[in-house]
Amino acid sequence: MKTGKTRADNRAAMESEIARLGREHLRTHGAGGLSLRAIARDLGVVSSAVYRYVP
């Protein structure tokens, strides 16, 4: 039997991390400093990959 995270678990974790980083950037840099590229950089992915999780 396989144990570990499912795709749904991984997706939910990524969505939560994107939201967390978005809130953090908003709090530290304000609305003008909020950027998808900065969030993607913090996640270690290209900016277009974020759109898979948050359309």
pTM of the predicted model over 0.85: no
Question: What's the pLDDT tens digit per position in 2-53?
Answer: 667 899 999 999 999 999 999 999 999 999 999 999 999 999 999 999 999 9
Question: What's the pLDDT tens digit per position in 21-32?
Answer: 999 999 999 999
Which DSSP state fits 18?
H
Hey, what amino acid is at 27? Answer: R
Distance CA 6, CA 29 (A): 34
